[in-house]
Amino acid sequence: MILMGRSRMSEAVSALDGLVWDQGIARIEEVGPQGMITLRGDLGSGTIKDLATGVTSVDMPGQSEANCVADRGICWMSPDELLILCSYEDVAMNLQRIQKGLGDAHALAVDVSEARATFRISGDHVREVLAKLVPVDLSTEAFKDGMFRRTRMAQVPAAFWMCNDHMVQIVCFRSHAQYVFDLLKTAAAPGSEVNLL
Amino acid sequence: MSNRLTTGGRLLDRARQMTFSFNGVRMKGYAGDTLASALLANDQMLVGRSFKYHRPRGIVASGAEEPNALMNMGSAARFEPNQRATTTVLFEGLKAESQNHWPSLEYDVGAINSALSKFLPAGFYYKMFIHPRPLWKHVYEPFIRQSAGLGKAPQQPDADTYEHFYAFCDVLIVGGGVAGLQAAHVAGKAGAKVLLLEQAAHWGGRAPVDGGELDGASPQAFVDRMVAELSGMPNVTMRLHCMGAGVYDHGYVLGYEQLDQAVRGAPRHRLWRIRAAEVITATGAIERPLSFAGNDVPGVMLASAVRDYLINYGVCSADRTVVVTNNDDAYRTAIALKNAGLSVPAIIDARVLPGDSALMAEAKEMGIRVLMGQAVAKVLGSKRVRGIEVCAQAGEGAVLEQIRCECVAMSGGWSPVVHLWSHCGGKLVWNKDYALFQPDLENPPTGADGLPFVTAVGCAAGPITGTDFEGLSLFDTLRGAVEATISVCERQGIRLRDMPKVPTVVEYDEEPLHPIWLMPQGAGPKLRQKTWLDYQNDVKVSDVQLAAQEGFESVEHAKRYTTLGMATDQGKLSNINGLAVLAKALKEDIPQVGTTTFRPPYTPISMGAIGGEARGEVFQPIRRTPMHGWHEKNGAEWEPVGHWRRPYAFRQNGENTHDAVMREVRNTRANVGLLDASTLGKLIVRGPDAGKFLDMMYTNMMSTLKPGKCRYGLMCSENGFLMDDGVVARISDDTWLCHTTTGGAERIHQHMEEWLQTEWWDWRVYVANVTEQYAQIAVVGPKAREVLQRLGGMDVSNEALGFMEWADGTLGGFECRVYRISFSGELSYEIAVRAGQGQAFWDALMQVGADLGIMPYGTEALHIMRAEKGFIMIGDETDGTVIPQDLGLHWAISKKKDDFIGKRGQERSHMTDPDRWQLVGLATLDGSVLPDGAYAVGSGTNANGQRVTQGRVTSTYHSPTLGCGIAMGLVHKGPDRMGEVLSFPGTDGAIYKAKIVSPVFYDPDGAKQNV
C-alpha cells in the first residue's frame, strides 16, 4: 500500500493557490482554503438556528445579510439556505456536528468548501471595481456592512459582502476562479477610477 | 474664408496650442476646441462627401446633430470611422481623414453621381436592379456594396479597453444646460440622490451663448454658481462627456461616457448602466435647417452653430454672413457677428411681421439690413458659398438681387430633443404655433406602477405656456425645470424643505416664428431638386414628393423608400422638414403624418463600450477542472463543452490528433486510461420524499435502488423528449446522488428546483449542486483494478465492489468515493476526491500506473468507446425531438410507476407511431467512416418535392478496436430491417453504403466490464 495522499490530506489546495495581483486600483487576492457548508432547511426552526450559530459563534443574519468574523460566519443564501463559513480544518467536525444535531429534522447539510473559490479585494476603490461587474447598488448608503448579495458578476454567478469599507469578499464557483480573477484585474486596471463610490 | 479671431472663444485655452492633422495636412488648434471648430479655424470648410451623390459637404452644426463632418479617426488599432467632428474634443496629435471620396476630398470621381442625380431619384436602386433576378446577387449587389458605406472598416483589433459601470439614483437628469442644472439643484436640495449627465465638455448648454440675464447676472455666472453649489452636494453626482444614450423599461438608462485618453491605462469609454427611479430629460432643442436650393453647399450652416463657433471658439465662419430665418432667434447670430466686427450684409426673414420685434429692432439699429418676406432662391457656389440669390418667399423664385457672402446662417426654428422621452413610449403632440413636436404630458412613458418615469424639462419639454410665444424662453425653461422637478420629487416621496425659487430673468420678448417648409414657397422642380433635406443620405425635397406621389403615404414607408433620416445622424436635422414636405405632398396635416420612431442610442455608441470588459481573456468564462493545468501542459487539445474546456485528446510526441485518439482508445482497451470526469454534474437529493421525487424526475424507478448501488437513469421533458442521462447512486435511506451530463448540471439542478418550488412545494426534498466539490477521475481498462490495488486502502475487488456499486474509502491515502460504473464497456471505476486533491490524486494514479501503460484519454476516445458499446450520447443521439423509445431504451422506462415527467407525452399518438425512426448501428460496406449527420435516402420525392429520406447518422467514428468505421443512426423501422443496406449521399458527392446492424459493436455480452 502506497500512502501518497496521506501527507497531502491536510494540505488543501485552493483553486488559484493564493494568487495575488496588486498593480491596479485595488488589490486582488485569492483567499486560501475556506471552509463552507451549505445548510438547507427551515431557517425559522430553532434547531437550524442553534446549529448555525453554534458552530460559527455568530448571530443569525437577516434576509440578504451575512454575519462574518474572520473566517467564521453565516450568510443568508435564500429563504431556505444558509452558507456556513468556518476554518477549512473544522469543516468535517462541524458538518458532523450539524448532521448529528439535525437528527430526524428534514434538512440538508453538505460540504462545499472545495466547490468554491474566495477572493478578497481591498483598497479605496473596491466598491467601484465591483460596481463595474455586478448589477448592484454599491454606494455606501445602499450596500452596508453586514449585507450579502448573491448576484451575477459579469457572466458568472457570485456572492459577496463587505468585510469593511475597504475590503470586499467574493465567493464564486471553483471552475470560474481564473475567470473571476482576470475579471477583477480588468475592472481594477490602473487609471480606471470612476471616482464616484 | 473661415478663420480664428484674435480674441474671444470662451471655451478655449489659448495658452495650450495643439497640433492635429486632417487628410495628412498639419493644422493647429487650442485646448478646448472641438475638431470641427479647429477645422473651421484652419479654413477647412469642405469636410466630406455625401453618401449617394458625393456632394461636397461642410460643417453645418456644432453638436451631436451634425450630419456632414464625419471622420475616419486615428489609425491602425485605434482607427474608427464615422466620428463626429463637432463632438470630438481636440487632442494633441489627433489624426482625422474625411470619408466617402476617391481619389481625394477635393476631386472626387463619385461626384459624377451628382451630375446624374436626375436619374438617381428615390427608389432608383429598388426599381433598377430588381430584374433580372440573378444579376442582383452576382453583379449589382457586389458593386453597390463596394460603393456603399461612409467610413472604412477598421483593419485591426481595437487596442483600447472599455468597461461598464452600474449606477443607481433617485433622479437621473440627462442634459447639463441651465434647465438640467436647475432641475438637479431642486432635486439635490430636496435630498434626492441625483445623477446629472452632460454629453459635452462644459456645463450650461446654449444659455451662455444666447445671452440674457439670470438673477441679475450673466447666464455664465448663473451656470458657475449652480455648478459650484451642486458640486458641494454629496447626494449629487455630475458627469461631463457622458451622454444619456437610451431610456429603457423599468428606469434603465444607458450613459455613454468618453474618458480622458491622457490618463494611462484608462478605459476609452465607459457604459453606465443606470437604474433611476425617475428620469428627467433636459436635452434641449436642435435648430432646423431651411429648405432652399443649394442649402448643402459648404458654408451654409445653422445660425446657432455660426454663433457657437464665434462665441465658444473665437472662430469666424466667414467675413460676410447672410442670415436666413423664419424666427427671431437667428437675429442673435447677426448681432453677435456684428459685435465681433464681422459683416452681415443682410438678414433674410421669410416672415412679414406687423412691427419690429425687439431683436429685429436691435439688429436694425446696428445697421443690419433686414429683408422681410424674402427668401433664398439659390445659393451660389459649389465647394464654398459665394453668395445668394434673393427672391420673395411668396413667389416661385424670381431673383430680386444677388448678395455676395461666404456663409449662410439659416434657422428654420427649433425642435425639442424628444428622443429620450420617446424611447420608452412617451407620445408627442404637434404644437402648431411653434411648428414643433413636443412631449405629450398626457402620455408619458410609464413604469410598472403605471406612473410616469420620464419627465421632460426646459426646451426639451417644448413650450408649456400655451400661446403667448414665450415657450422656449429662458424664463419658461427655468420655471418648467423647477416645477417639473418638484412634481418628480413629490412622486418619489421626497419632501422639499424650502420651495425652490425660479431665478429672475431678463430677456428679449420674441415674436412667433412662421413655419417655412420650402423656400420660396412656390419653388419649381429645378430648385426642389437642389433643396436638401437629409445631407448625409442625400434626400431632397423632390425625393420625398416623389415618394408621396408613388404611394408611400406612411411616414415609415416614405422614410425607408427615400432613406430620409436613416443615416448615422438618424435625421436629427432632416426629420421634421422631411415630414412637413411629405404632409404637404399628401395634403395632410403634419400631426396626421406623424413621426418615425425614435430608437436608442441617441447618437451612435462604440461597439467596444457595449462589449465592456468582455474581450480577450475574459471574453467568455472558461470553466476549469482541478486538473486543467496538467492537461494544458500535457498536450491537451481542447473541446468546449458548455463553458468547460475538456481535453479532446492528448497529443504526444508530434502525433496528429487522429493518431492520438486512436492510441488513447487502444491503450484504454488494452491497458488502462484516465479520464477527467470532473465536469459531470453531481446533484445531492435528500429528504423523506426524495425517492418519490426521483421517480418523477427519471423514467426509471429510483426509489427501489438499494444504498450502495448505482442505476443508469433517463430524464425527459414534460413532452417526453429525452433531455439528460446519468448514473444515480443511492447514498443512504434518504439521500441520492444524481450524475448529469457535463452541460446538464446547472440545467437539471434548475429543473429539479423548479418542480420542487412550483409544483411539489410540499414535498420534503432538498437539492444541492456539489459538482465542483469533487474532482472525478475515471480509471478505465483491464488493468484499472490493479492500479487502484497498488494505491491500496480499500477493497476494489469484484466481490467487494461489484459492477454498478459504489463505496467510500481511501485510495493511496486519499479519501474518496468509488463508483464502479462504465461508459466504455471496460472494467472501470470513477473515483471522486475532494477538488483540491484532484491533481495530487491524478499524479498518484499516473505514477503507480506508469509501468501498466496508464495514459490519459480525452473526450473523443470516450465517445468512440461508448459508440463501440452502442451507448447513446445526449446531444448526439438526441436533439430535443427524440424519445427514449426511439433509442431502444424501453428497459429504462418503468412500467410500474403511475407517473413520471414525460410519461403522458410519450403516450401521444405521434410518439407511439411505429413509423418513428429508431436507433440502429450502421456498418459501411467498405469499412469507411460515414459522414456525420448524413441522411439515408429512399425512393421518390415527398410532398415538398424533396427527396425522401429514411434515416440519419447520429454518431460516426473510426473504431480502432474494430479497424473500421462504426456509426449509429435513427432509421425508419430500423430494428426490423437488420442487414439492409442504406445509401447515404455525402456532401462530397459520394454515396456511402452502410448496412443496418446492432448498435452494440463491441462486447455485446458486457463480459469485459463485469470482471
Q: Quick: pLDDT tens for B221-245.
A: 999 999 999 999 999 999 999 999 9
Which CATH number is B914-997 given?
A: 2.40.30.110
CB A114 to CB B621 under 8 A?
A: no
Measured CA to CA, the distance from residue B985 to residue B991 in angstroms comes to 4
Distance (Å) from the alpha carbon of A35 to chain B's nearest alpha carbon: 12
Kindly report the nearest CA distance between residue A54 and chain B, in angstroms.
22
Note the pLDDT of residue B603: 95
Put simply, the answer to whether A175 touches B161 (Cβ < 8 Å) is no
| Residues making up chain A, counted from first to last | 197
Pairing verdict, β B673-676 and B855-856: parallel
Tens digit of pLDDT for each residue in A119-177?
999 999 999 999 999 999 999 999 999 999 999 999 999 999 999 999 999 999 999 99
Average pLDDT over chain B reads: 94
pLDDT in tens, B675-692: 999 999 999 999 999 999
Fold of B160-287+413-513+597-618: FAD/NAD(P)-binding domain (3.50.50)
Q: Which residue has the cell 445697421?
A: B367
User: Side-chain half-sphere of B812: how many Cα atoms within 13 Å?
Assistant: 24
| B272 chain-A contacts, CB cut-off 8 A | none
Provide the pLDDT for residue A7: 42
Query: What cell numbers appear for B81 in the block?
Result: 470611422
Which residues of B are less than 8 Å from A33 in CB distance?
836
Question: What is the average per-residue pLDDT within B669-680?
Answer: 98
Q: Kindly state the cell numbers that stand for B203.
A: 456645463
Model confidence band, residue A6 (pLDDT cutoffs 50, 70, 90): very low
Per-residue model confidence (pLDDT) at position B710 = 98
What average pLDDT does chain A have? 93
pLDDT recorded at residue B153:
86
Measure in Å the smallest separation between the Cα of A22 and chain B Cα atoms: 15
With the C-alpha atoms ordered B79, B85, B89, B94, is the resulting torsion angle positive or negative? positive
- Is the pLDDT score of B144 beyond 70? no
Q: How far from B968 is each of B473, B673, B933, B948, B954, CA to CA, in Å?
A: 78, 24, 10, 20, 6
**Residue by residue, what is the 3-state secondary structure of B614-678?**
CCHHHCCCCECCCCHHHHHHCCEEEEEECCEEEEEEECCCCCCHHHHHHHHHHHHHHCCEEEECC
Burial grade of A178 (CB within 10 A; 0-12, 13-18, 19 or more): buried
Residue B992: CA count within 13 A, CB half-sphere: 27
Tell me the three cell numbers of residue B77: 488599432
pLDDT for position B566: 86
Please return the burial class of B37, using the count of CB atoms within 10 Å of its CB with bins 0-12, 13-18 and 19+: buried
Q: Calculate what percentage of chain B has a pLDDT beyond 90.
A: 86
Q: Using CB atoms, pick whichever of B767, B773, B847 lies closest to residue A114.
A: B773
Output DSSP code: residue B965: E
Q: Which amino acid is at B258?
A: Q
Lowest mean pLDDT, pick from A2-16, A171-185, B424-438:
A2-16
Q: Which residues of A touch B237 (CB under 8 A)?
A: 196
Residue B471: what pLDDT? 65
User: Percentage helix, strand, coil, to 5, in chain A?
Assistant: 25, 35, 40
* Residue A3, burial from CB neighbour count under 10 angstroms (0-12, 13-18, 19+): middle
* Contact residues, chain B, for A192 at CB < 8 Å: 161, 163, 265-267
Q: Can you say whether the dihedral through the CA atoms of B352, B355, B356, B358 is positive or negative?
A: negative
The grid coordinates listed for A29 are 487576492
Q: How many CB atoms lie within 10 A of CB B449?
A: 8
For residues B512-522, give the mean pLDDT. 94
Query: Which residues 30-59 in chain A show a CB within 8 A of chain B?
Result: 33, 38, 40-41
Domains B160-287+413-513+597-618 and B289-412 agree in fold: yes
Q: Residue B469 pLDDT more than 60?
A: no
Number of residues in chain B? 1011
User: Among 2.60.40.10, 3.50.50.60, 2.40.50.140, 3.40.50.720, what is the CATH number of B289-412?
Assistant: 3.50.50.60
B257: β partners: B242, B270
What CATH class has B8-114? Answer: alpha beta
pLDDT at residue A1 in the model: 45
Q: B interface mutation test: which of A136, A186, A195, A197 has the most B CBs within 10 A?
A: A186
Question: How many interchain CB pairs under 8 A, A with B?
Answer: 171
Distances, alpha carbon A187 to alpha carbons A28, A121, B419, in Å: 11, 11, 32
pLDDT at A127: 97
Residue of A25, A108, A140 to mutate, interface with B, max B Cβ within 10 Å: A108
Inter-chain contact A13–B837, Cβ cutoff 8 Å? yes
Q: In this model, does residue B112 exceed pLDDT 80? A: no
Contact A37, A98 (CB under 8 A): yes
- pLDDT of B96 higher than 50: yes
Q: In this complex, which of A12, A176, A194 lies closest to B836 when CB atoms are compared?
A: A12
Residues of B with Cβ-Cβ distance to A16 under 8 angstroms? none
The confidence score (pLDDT) of residue B892 equals 96
Nearest CA in chain B to A36: B773
A117-A122-A125-A128 Cα dihedral, nearest 10 degrees: 20
* Separation between Cα atoms, residue A38 and residue A48, nearest integer Å: 12
- Structural contact between residues A173 and A117, judged by C-beta atoms closer than 8 angstroms: yes
B681-772 CATH pick, 3.40.50.300, 2.60.120.10, 3.40.50.2000, 3.30.70.1400: 3.30.70.1400
Q: With an 8 Å Cβ cutoff, is A179 touching chain B?
A: yes
- To test the contact with chain B by mutation, choose from A48, A174, A183, A195 the residue with the greatest count of B C-beta atoms within 10 A, namely A174
B896 has a pLDDT exceeding 50: yes
CA B499 to chain centre: 43
**Separation CA B124–CA B106 (nearest Å):** 27
The one-letter amino acid at B172 = L
- Nearest Cα to Cα of residue B33 among B314, B429, B425, B375: B314
Comparing A11 with B731, the larger pLDDT belongs to: B731
With a cut of 90, say whether residue B52 has pLDDT above it: no
- In this complex, the residue of A3, A175, A186 whose CB is nearest that of residue B625 is A175
- Tell me the three cell numbers of residue B835: 477538488
Q: CA–CA separation, B729 vs B612, rounded Å?
A: 44
Query: What values do phi and psi take at B349, rounded to 5?
Result: -115, 120
d(CA B168, CA A127): 13
| Nearest CB to A111 within list B624, B626, B773 | B773
Q: Which amino acid is at B952?
A: R
Q: pLDDT tens for residues A12-33?
A: 789 999 999 999 999 999 998 9
Q: Which pLDDT does position A10 carry in this prediction?
A: 47
Rounded to an integer, what is the distance from CA A122 to the centroid of its chain? 15
Q: Which residues of A touch B844 (CB under 8 A)?
A: 2, 4-5
A67 and chain B in contact, CB less than 8 A: no
Instruction: Write down the pLDDT at residue A30.
Output: 97
Tell me the three cell numbers of residue B187: 432635486
| Among B277, B275, B282, B276, residue whose Cα is nearest residue B182 | B282
Q: What letter would DSSP give residue A135?
A: S
Number of C-beta neighbours around residue B617 at 10 A: 12
Cβ distance B813 to A6 less than 8 Å, yes or no, reads yes
Domains and CATH numbers, chain A: 15-187 (3.30.1360.120)
Give the per-residue pLDDT at B702. Answer: 97
pLDDT exceeds 70 at position B660:
yes
Could B839 and A110 be called an inter-chain contact, meaning their C-beta atoms sit closer than 8 Å?
Answer: no
Does residue B147 register a pLDDT over 90?
Answer: no
Q: Domain coordinates of chain B in residue numbers?
A: 8-114, 160-287+413-513+597-618, 289-412, 525-588, 681-772, 914-997
When mean pLDDT is compared across B94-108, B425-439, B699-713, B909-923, the lowest value belongs to B94-108
Least confident of B107-111, B144-148, B394-398, B684-688: B144-148
Say yes or no: domain B525-588 is CATH 1.10.10.1100: yes
Distance separating alpha carbons of residues B858 and B663, to the nearest angstrom: 11
B833–chain A nearest CA distance, Å = 10
Provide φ and ψ at B925, rounded to 5°: -65, -35
Contact B265 A179 (CB under 8 A): no
Q: A171 at the B interface (CB within 8 A)? A: no
The span from the CA of B768 to the CA of B683, in Å, is 6
Q: Do B772 and A137 count as a contact with CB atoms less than 8 A apart?
A: no
Q: Are B205 and B177 in contact (CB under 8 A)?
A: yes
Statement: residue B103 has pLDDT above 80: no
Q: Do B166 and A178 touch (CB under 8 A)?
A: no
